[in-house]
Structure 1
Amino acid sequence: MLLLALSLLLAAVSSVPVQKEEQKDHGIDIYSFHIKSEVRSRYAMTVITSRVANLANESREVNFHVEMPKHAFISNFSMTMDGQTYNGVVKKKAEAQQQYDKAVSRGQSAGLVSSVGRTLEEFTTSVTVAAHKKVTFELTYEQLLKRRLGQYELLIKAKPTQVVKDFKIDVHIRERQGIRFLDTRGELVSTELSKVVNTTLSEKEARVLFAPTRQQQRQCPGCGADGLSGDLLIVYDVNRPKTKGDLQISQGYFVHYFAPTDVNRTSKNVVFIIDQSGSMHGRKIEQTREALLKILDDVPEDDHFALITFDSTVRSWKPQLVRATPDNLEAARSFVRKIQDLGATDINAAVLEGVRMLKVFTDGQKTNKTASILILLTDGDPTSGVTNLDTIRANVKEAIGRKYTLYCLGFGFDVNYEFLEKMALQNDGVGRRIYPDSDAALQLQGFYEEVATPLLSDVEMNYAGVSDVTQTTFSQYYNGSEIVVAGHVTDNELETLRAVVKGYSEGNEVKYEDASSKNDDATDAYISDVYIQRLWAYLTVQQLLEKEVLLSGSDKEAIRERALNLSLKYSFVTPLTSMVVTKPEGDKSQVLHKPKEGKPGSKETSNMRRGFRPQTLPDAGGISHRMVGPSYKSRVSMPNRNPLGERGLPGPPGYPRYMGIRPPDPHARLHHSPPQIAMHIDYMDSPLVKLADVTGVVDYDNLATHVPHDTDADYGIWATRTPAPESGRTLRIVLPAAGQNIPLCFDVPVPYRLTYKLLEDSAAGLLVLGQVGVARHKDFQQLSIRTKDGGNVTVDTSHIQLSKGQQKKLLSWHQSSARHQSNRLSLLKQDHVLEVTVGGTRIDILLHKEGQEHFLWPAVKERPLGSSATGLMEQHRVSYEEKQVSPSVTLEIQGHQTVAQRNSATDYSAPSRPTVSCWLVPHHSVVQGELSSLTVREP
């Protein structure tokens, strides 16, 4: 069985061709592991090769896992087994999907797209290797290193989880301009392993070689039997003539690197627009305050700035921009320290107020020697004032009028990143996601540092005798960055290519000229024949995909078509293409997709469109802020105004602010009797608010199928909180969907001591039961597997019991490994995963721990072809199709249409328990039959 997975994690390169447990315990030996990266004038082509042997006496599944920058394009992948090489072929997504679906329908392969993280994609494939056989994996990806804060970075993560006989990381850098400095950092070059890194540096070349012996791999801090675990970070910059860039020509293509150093800093006017709505409650608002305080410490005195905070009301610290004098900065710090989360989210009014303040200030300036920018930070959709996204973008674009630059920072995973990115791009800025980790304040501060020192504005790059040129106009050039332009030289008679760069520094026009000859030996010595052409294609595809966000209709299709054709021509795996790996015999196909930032992926970073928030109400009888759970309806009244005014009353610590007659009792529960304690949830974008605005009746069981998106409600939900029935607890199940990037998920009720039929195959004589925990609401405490020959396996959080008749055998989870084989039943336990195989069915049982509590989770991994089983977790072959995307998403599932909402869920079927983005649908849309037919009441 072949499995491909692509996911986004961190800004780095990491290669992990292994299983999560130490593979030598399984007889799997990674005897050779090489990463070779060739960098030519910032363009890196990296090849990762892993050679693995199965030393066991039976077949084993071998995993190959690589992490690479999300802006990189995979251009080649191959597997070699028994002298036969299987190569990946890049195809249109639809064609690749058709081939993939054909294989999936036969049960021959599986594939999925997982998460979008900070700046990494995670590539994983697995293949079954026969006893005493070998397999070689080889992956190639390409990327343009981006200059940030004065340096380029190449980060390689090594975590093979076992000691490797032949381990080597080899990086070779060639720069025609000359290498100004180079440094190696990271965990792999600290302490004992620092002496293992061999760096050689000449005027224009550098080589970094890291090849630790087996003994050195064992002795590094925290390694031991698991081998290496750490980062190798290579940072460098090139020499830069004060008035020239670097212009290179090869094979009919050119690239121009432009980063002048002889430019004076331009003072700037900056308006910070900060979301302080209720959804910023807790750590988000704390990190925002922390970042702003650090940013204010670094604002130069000749800059002017303003602070705007907003929820449903826009508040300005000062009525106009002020100079960054010590007194003003100290007053601003006092204002920042008092920022508190309050009500709804009026993005339109807040941004327009920032634009107005900039216009008043710049119109009053006597000279045009400053750069003006706006920085918007928000974590949600607009829920107050103007809420239509297209209208907001149009309003902001018209107000700015290409005079200022807008940067949009989206805080968290449920922010509408696509909306923010598009609004930023329309106004010459960029969108950036701020990840809600412990370093969120540093992320905010780091972004500001990138735009803190403007040098040039309105930059134009001009060339003669060329075509198909990438972006040539730039609103701002900042210190420490670099402008890169590439194109096709169409004038065959042209011997020398000339570049003329114009821009403005402190309001005055400046001009730069660069030239390069076709026969420049210095160019040929430091680049390969295909380097510039592939760089041009890479940069063109990246920019076309970015431009596509701003277009619609025929223009959008034309841009997509051009990006698609280039992706196919240069074999790039992009959001428009997929790579298909086919084993000719048996047509066992795999598909590798590439997610897109801001588009659904899974795990911690996908762009979850607004609809449900992850916060939960305090002890609300199993009803979370998403309001999905109990199967009863509650009628609500909807007053037009909150009787207490906008501020309302605070809720319990760590929970959203409430409005109402008095704060809710956190020990009370929702009930469908007449109101006793009225409350109002202070999230105007709550789906529950929008649902009640239309119907006045909350159907908690089917809420996800009825939530409208475009309602502009000015009120909330009033409900009562008294004890709820035990059926209020729910279990959320993630359901991988054949042929789709985003899995489905659904909730089912879990009353006390209820046992679900997870899998029932009468023909095979197999029954799998799962009993939900007593205290918890999202896990299993006991699983039972029953076979037709009387062999049973009972698993709880302490023991694994095998029984047949009067014979019993007891295993413990504390054993590091255990194995059992008898007729049709086999067990293999490794660490916290128990593989149970019955005939052609394989079920993994995972033991998880949260806090001091342990719980179980079952995952059906393999099923025989043509099986007709039923059960709560037998729906793994369900597929869906998106039929409508606005104003809400409609999915066609098994021939029926249902409205879905973007949500998140923890995927407990994986040992790492990733948080994935999913389409939340009603359980009846994916589970055949009534739930009552899948439950068993056991004493």
Structure 2
Amino acid sequence: MYRRVVLLTLLGSLLGLVNTLPNKDDWDIYSFHINSTVTSRYATTTITSRVANRMNESKEIEFHVRIPKNAFIRKFRMFMDGEVYDGVVKAKEQAERQYTEAVSRGQSAGIVSSVGRTLEEFKTSVTVAPHKKVTFELTYEELLKRRLGKYELQIFARPMQPVKDFKVDVHINENAGLKLIEMKGGLSTKELANAITKTVTDKQAWIYFYPTVDQQKVCDSCSDNGLNGDLVIFYDVQRDVPFGDIQTGDGYFVHHFAPSDLPRISKNVVFVIDQSGSMHGRKMQQTRIALIHILSDLVEDDFFGLITFDSELFHWKQELVQATAKNIEEAKEFAEKIKDRGPTDINRAVLEGTRMLNAHPREDSASILILLTDGDPTSGETNPERIRTNVKKAIASKFPLYCLGFGFDVNFEILEKMSLDNDGLARRIYEDSDANLQLQGFYEEVATPLLKDVTMIYIGGSNLTQTNFSQYYNGSEIVVAGVITDNNIESFTPEVVALSRTTKITFSCPIATPESTATAPIDRIQRVWAYLTVKQLMKKELQLSGPEKEKVKKEAMDLSLKYSFVTPLTSMVVTKPPGEDSAVLNKPKEERPETDSIMRHGVTRKFLTYPTRQRTGFSGIYFHIHFFLENIFLSPAAPTQRFLLRPEKVALPLCFDLPTAIDVKLLHHPSRGLDIKGIIGTEENAGFTQLRIHVQSDIYIEVDTESISVKEGQNVTRYSEQTQITAGSVTVIMRDKEIDVSVGDIRFVILVHEISGRKFLWPVFRQMPLDDQAEGILVYNNGHYEEGENMGTTSSIKVQGKEIDAGRSSAVDYSLPVPVTVDCWLLSAQSVLQRPSTDFNN
């Protein structure tokens, strides 16, 4: 039966040409939150959107999310009808089989990708019953890269309607100390600037963006349809120690190395510019503009060369010359006359640039070769592998090769491989009006070399990410992560050896042992290592062939699966209720936009995808996943706090979520006259901000992260230092990170955790007599659960004899002094508690 399609676009742009355009009265985005936490340059961002269907019939609603291209999606969840459905990361081949089978059965499934510059887009759809709700939640992670002296955190928003409860919360925590915080982007213009508040201390910053409904219509590119733009946060950190910032935790380390107070190394640079026929028109014009600007930025102690090529070579000068004012003006005149001509001989042009650099060796200088081209090799040597071999042999690891690919006709893969072969990188230049600025921006990143032949050494370290770098440029940063062998921090000795302008230089760790990051999430440093390792393994796999290629590919895929990263080697299968068809999320390759189709219930709907140009110059890569759910959906409140249960007859612990910012009944023990309540914090997995203990009729104890208040009768006493407290049958022992509480034969411990500078409480029962009348969230750890059929990512769990489907997920176990992340079977709170979770709210 045909169903009308309602399109909901969140943080993205309208791409599908569907039969019916959305009427904003049909649906309501009643809440939309972005929460981004950056700790030591590693950003974890969660986007939560709650949507209601206001109509009297079921509607399909789509969810769009734009994320940075360098990020890995870690988790996607939907809350529907009191149940939680998690995406599961699988090997791409396995996920593709599931996708293909769904299509062959005529079921709804689809993947569509298009091209973007800095962003990718995730899209999924769900059918919502009349007057019901659904909650979407997406989490992604990204290691922020330092460019031109700044880190950049980009948040994009385009909900297509004003949202009453719209919030963006950003928390930055840098132990090295903050040096700069500034905000740009379309969402910081006009009246929206008044919706931004900022609090900055020495090491932390909080940015809140809470626009009103009216304010959401008044940014540079906003309209009555609400927000449309990005909020970009730039920052840097203090660099008082040249060695940099090294952090350890859970047997792993991450080292950020970015010294700045070093003399500039003069450079030898050769520009190799494609002037083949395909560069005709705006490409050639923008190249000339950029090249003239770049030549103006050369410093007098630099030496440079300039070659243009098609099937022939054209030199400005046969050899490198000094960047004097006279030479620069003559080179600009040459650049202004560059015109497009014939076919493309990349091999000959790059080898000639290499010859010029090799023929002009200078001590205390750094050499750089920059190639700009927009096409395939079509003249001379055209075999990509022979070109790679020729170039690598000629350069012989003496200097880096940077390849700039103009547009989408270029063979970008060969550029990537040549750059990786020769310690450089490849970057695509997009055919936009600002292409000349893209070229200039890239040159500025490599314009000021400070070190060369950089070697990062870690005695007592293993499983290291890349440790050798041909050059280090001012405004950039080198990041290395690894494993501390046997977790022996005392034998771990890091140092950096490099060549500066005048001499060999060694950077040593200024303290006996690197700083531990106990306040950070327990697995963050390990995840940074995994993120870097996967990225670098995928680059390495691009260069290899045969068994070596397959070995590296498997290693990268295994890590992606272990850490639930959606990478080019893995896909996410969105799990749904029994009987529903599959949906698959891929991280797409960057390719030219084209016509795509989606199969829905045997009907193929074709539509166009294309890069949408924003005023900021950004465009998106689009993931589309479409599926239909017939269930009636009801959205629970979110964000949530996850709880763990450890029943004996279940291999994995169970877990369930409760909403935050509520007062929860933890224990009611009538025979002991004991009541314990806890207030859950307002953030995702924020723990308890306060515990309230009531004993008999006249003893009230309140515990927060800084103190304990005891009310006995009319007397109230507050304690904030380590001590022992006795009140009636209650004994409380305050310690630094732990509070012991005894009430007769009941004993529990309140752990005080601190993560990213935020403290919270977590109660753990050590001794509690069983009592059929006792109730509360914490009583259910002794419930009756059994595991049924286990299918890897799903399982049937018997709760009080009733069989319930569960999906595999993860949770942080805060019952330990040092929290750890564990796998668990995720059920709804109502399934575990066997009654509405609201019965446990106070």
TM-score under structure 2 length normalisation? 0.69
> By how many angstroms is 1:127 displaced?
1.0
The alignment partner of 2:547 has SS state of helix
Cα distance in 1 for partners of 2:39, 2:57 equals 45
Please give the residue correspondences for 1:815-854 in structure 2 after superposition, counting only pairs within 5 Å: none
Residues 1:85 and 2:79 are matched in the alignment? no
Comparing 252-261 and 16-25, the one that deviates more: 16-25
Indicate conservation of the 8 Å contact 1:255/1:485, yes or no.
Answer: yes
| Paired residue type of 1:315 | F
Indicate conservation of the 8 Å contact 1:161/1:228, yes or no.
Answer: yes
Aligned to 1:422: 417
Indicate conservation of the 8 Å contact 1:18/1:161, yes or no.
Answer: no
Residues 1:431 and 2:426 are matched in the alignment? yes
Residues 1:405 and 2:409 are matched in the alignment? no
> By how many angstroms is 1:287 displaced?
0.6
> By how many angstroms is 1:736 displaced?
3.7
Indicate conservation of the 8 Å contact 2:496/2:508, yes or no.
Answer: yes
| Paired residue type of 1:256 | H
Residues 1:562 and 2:555 are matched in the alignment? yes
Cα distance in 2 for partners of 1:49, 1:168 equals 10
CA deviation profile, 1:862-892 (whole Å, cap 9, x unmatched): 999xxxxxxxxxxxxxxxxxxxxxxxxxxxx
Aligned to 1:472: 467
Cα distance in 1 for partners of 2:626, 2:235 equals 48
CA deviation profile, 1:836-875 (whole Å, cap 9, x unmatched): x9x99697999x9xxxxxxxxxxxx9999xxxxxxxxxxx
Indicate conservation of the 8 Å contact 2:106/2:602, yes or no.
Answer: no
Residues 221 and 329 from structure 1, CA distance in 2 versus in 1: closer, same or farther, beyond 3 angstroms? closer
Cα distance in 2 for partners of 1:293, 1:554 equals 46
Aligned to 2:351: 352
Comparing 579-588 and 260-269, the one that deviates more: 579-588
The alignment partner of 1:529 has SS state of coil
Aligned to 1:175: 174
Unaligned 5+ runs, structure 1: 3-12, 605-733, 739-836, 849-860, 865-939
Aligned to 2:647: none
Please give the residue correspondences for 1:651-670 in structure 2 after superposition, counting only pairs within 5 Å: none
Residues 843 and 38 from structure 1, CA distance in 2 versus in 1: closer, same or farther, beyond 3 angstroms? closer
Cα distance in 1 for partners of 2:15, 2:137 equals 14
Aligned to 2:196: 197
Indicate conservation of the 8 Å contact 1:113/1:594, yes or no.
Answer: no
> By how many angstroms is 1:225 displaced?
2.6
CA deviation profile, 1:261-286 (whole Å, cap 9, x unmatched): 12110000000000001111111111
Cα distance in 2 for partners of 1:328, 1:336 equals 12
Residues 388 and 214 from structure 1, CA distance in 2 versus in 1: closer, same or farther, beyond 3 angstroms? same
Cα distance in 1 for partners of 2:419, 2:219 equals 45
Indicate conservation of the 8 Å contact 1:113/1:602, yes or no.
Answer: no
Cα distance in 2 for partners of 1:316, 1:225 equals 56
> By how many angstroms is 1:596 displaced?
3.5
Cα distance in 2 for partners of 1:569, 1:441 equals 41
Aligned to 2:839: none
The alignment partner of 2:486 has SS state of coil
Residues 736 and 840 from structure 1, CA distance in 2 versus in 1: closer, same or farther, beyond 3 angstroms? closer
| Paired residue type of 1:502 | V
Comparing 242-251 and 537-546, the one that deviates more: 242-251
Cα distance in 1 for partners of 2:16, 2:606 equals 15
Residues 105 and 239 from structure 1, CA distance in 2 versus in 1: closer, same or farther, beyond 3 angstroms? same
| Paired residue type of 1:480 | G
Residues 1:99 and 2:93 are matched in the alignment? no
| Paired residue type of 2:593 | K
Aligned to 1:879: none
Cα distance in 1 for partners of 2:408, 2:278 equals 12
TM-score under structure 1 length normalisation? 0.62
1:452 maps to which of 424, 447, 452 = 447
Please give the residue correspondences for 1:440-839 in structure 2 after superposition, counting only pairs within 5 Å: 440-495=435-490, 497-506=492-501, 508-514=503-509, 520=515, 523-525=517-519, 527-597=520-590, 601-603=591-593, 734=595, 736=597
Indicate conservation of the 8 Å contact 2:126/2:627, yes or no.
Answer: no
Cα distance in 2 for partners of 1:596, 1:266 equals 37
| Paired residue type of 2:49 | S
> By how many angstroms is 1:579 displaced?
0.2
> By how many angstroms is 1:583 displaced?
1.5
Aligned to 1:382: 377
Residues 227 and 432 from structure 1, CA distance in 2 versus in 1: closer, same or farther, beyond 3 angstroms? same
Indicate conservation of the 8 Å contact 1:247/1:516, yes or no.
Answer: no
Alignment length (residue pairs): 605
> By how many angstroms is 1:516 displaced?
6.1
Cα distance in 2 for partners of 1:412, 1:842 equals 31
| Paired residue type of 1:133 | K
Cα distance in 2 for partners of 1:319, 1:57 equals 77
| Paired residue type of 1:595 | P
Residues 328 and 603 from structure 1, CA distance in 2 versus in 1: closer, same or farther, beyond 3 angstroms? same
Indicate conservation of the 8 Å contact 1:179/1:236, yes or no.
Answer: yes
User: Identity over the aligned pairs, expressed in percent?
Assistant: 59
Indicate conservation of the 8 Å contact 1:242/1:262, yes or no.
Answer: no
> By how many angstroms is 1:737 displaced?
8.2
The alignment partner of 1:585 has SS state of coil
The alignment partner of 1:226 has SS state of coil
Structure of greater relative contact order (alpha carbons < 8 Å, 6+ residues apart): 2
Indicate conservation of the 8 Å contact 2:597/2:604, yes or no.
Answer: no
Cα distance in 2 for partners of 1:221, 1:400 equals 48
Indicate conservation of the 8 Å contact 2:461/2:482, yes or no.
Answer: yes
Residues 445 and 841 from structure 1, CA distance in 2 versus in 1: closer, same or farther, beyond 3 angstroms? closer
> By how many angstroms is 1:164 displaced?
0.6
Unaligned 5+ runs, structure 2: 4-9, 611-624, 629-842
The alignment partner of 1:25 has SS state of coil
Give the CA RMSD over aligned residues: 2.7
Cα distance in 1 for partners of 2:606, 2:586 equals 26
Cα distance in 1 for partners of 2:11, 2:27 equals 20
The alignment partner of 2:317 has SS state of coil
Cα distance in 2 for partners of 1:470, 1:354 equals 31
| Paired residue type of 1:137 | F
Cα distance in 2 for partners of 1:466, 1:405 equals 27
Comparing 378-387 and 285-294, the one that deviates more: 378-387
Indicate conservation of the 8 Å contact 1:840/1:863, yes or no.
Answer: no
Indicate conservation of the 8 Å contact 1:114/1:602, yes or no.
Answer: no
Residues 360 and 542 from structure 1, CA distance in 2 versus in 1: closer, same or farther, beyond 3 angstroms? same
| Paired residue type of 2:386 | T
| Paired residue type of 1:543 | Q
> By how many angstroms is 1:59 displaced?
1.1
| Paired residue type of 2:577 | P
Indicate conservation of the 8 Å contact 1:86/1:581, yes or no.
Answer: yes
Cα distance in 2 for partners of 1:844, 1:504 equals 57
Residues 149 and 550 from structure 1, CA distance in 2 versus in 1: closer, same or farther, beyond 3 angstroms? same
Cα distance in 2 for partners of 1:16, 1:354 equals 43
Aligned to 1:235: 234
| Paired residue type of 1:561 | K
| Paired residue type of 2:448 | T
Cα distance in 1 for partners of 2:514, 2:422 equals 40
Comparing 71-80 and 111-120, the one that deviates more: 111-120
Indicate conservation of the 8 Å contact 1:43/1:143, yes or no.
Answer: yes
> By how many angstroms is 1:228 displaced?
1.6
CA deviation profile, 1:368-406 (whole Å, cap 9, x unmatched): 210001100011111111111111111111111111211
Aligned to 2:767: none
Cα distance in 2 for partners of 1:430, 1:50 equals 37
| Paired residue type of 2:534 | V
Comparing 376-385 and 225-234, the one that deviates more: 225-234
Indicate conservation of the 8 Å contact 2:251/2:486, yes or no.
Answer: no
Cα distance in 2 for partners of 1:241, 1:594 equals 39
The alignment partner of 1:575 has SS state of coil
| Paired residue type of 1:343 | G
The alignment partner of 1:425 has SS state of helix
Please give the residue correspondences for 1:106-145 in structure 2 after superposition, counting only pairs within 5 Å: 106-145=105-144
Cα distance in 2 for partners of 1:346, 1:844 equals 39
Cα distance in 2 for partners of 1:426, 1:576 equals 22
Cα distance in 2 for partners of 1:486, 1:280 equals 41
The alignment partner of 2:96 has SS state of helix
> By how many angstroms is 1:310 displaced?
0.5
